[in-house]
Amino acid sequence: MLIRPFVRHDLARLTALTIETFRPFYEDHFRPLVGEVVFANQHGDWRGDYREQVAELHAPDLHRYVAVAETEDVVLGYVAWSVDPARRNGTITHLAVSAEHRRHRAGTALCEHAFGEMRALGAEVVEIGTGGDPFHAPARALYEKLGAVPLPVAVYYRRL
């Protein structure tokens, strides 16, 4: 597995991977949990939102970076992070690994790569967020295995 910096021609593959990775959360978990009104209000165009977000993830002049894991020209996954140099703080904003490459250490390798890059940019602390629902359980397990400490947070939605 090679982990390399993002290049512009990665954009379509990473956008498709992001949509593929998080479709089960939005369609199978979040939508049934909150109902159609809340879903439409909060994430009704989640695919379009990801198309915009992924396009803006890599902006080194704004301290935002992306690294891609691949093997033989097959993208396994990617990690996106940002660094706030003044606060010496880093944040992993996105981590996506294709379904067929999960549980093969690609997520671990991507996070460790991002941690090293953040350290090189002066970060002393990293923040990684994920959901508390069953869909995100593997992400929580990964982050805890990497030594991150969970902070319990509750978010509530209600139709008015």
The DSSP symbol for 27 reads I
The pLDDT of residue 53 is: 96
Task: Write the pLDDT tens digit of every residue in 44-70.
Answer: 999 999 999 999 999 999 999 999 999
The pLDDT of residue 12 is: 97
Task: Write the pLDDT tens digit of every residue in 133-149.
Answer: 898 999 999 999 999 99
> For residues 99-120, b (16+ Cβ closer than 10 Å) or e, as one string?
eebeeeebbebbbebbbebbee
The pLDDT of residue 103 is: 84
Q: Helices (DSSP H) in the chain: which residue ranges?
A: 11-23, 31-43, 46-56, 106-120, 137-145
Q: Is the pLDDT of residue 157 over 90?
A: no
The pLDDT of residue 127 is: 96
Q: Which residue has the higher pLDDT, 45 or 158?
A: 45
Which residues, in sequence order, are bridge partners of residue 127?
A: 91
> For residues 37-52, b (16+ Cβ closer than 10 Å) or e, as one string?
ebbeeebeebeeebbe
Task: Write the pLDDT tens digit of every residue in 74-128.
Answer: 999 999 999 999 999 999 999 999 988 888 899 999 999 999 999 999 999 999 9
The pLDDT of residue 152 is: 87
Q: Domains in the chain, ordered, with CATH?
A: 2-145 (3.40.630.30)
The DSSP symbol for 123 reads -
The pLDDT of residue 47 is: 97
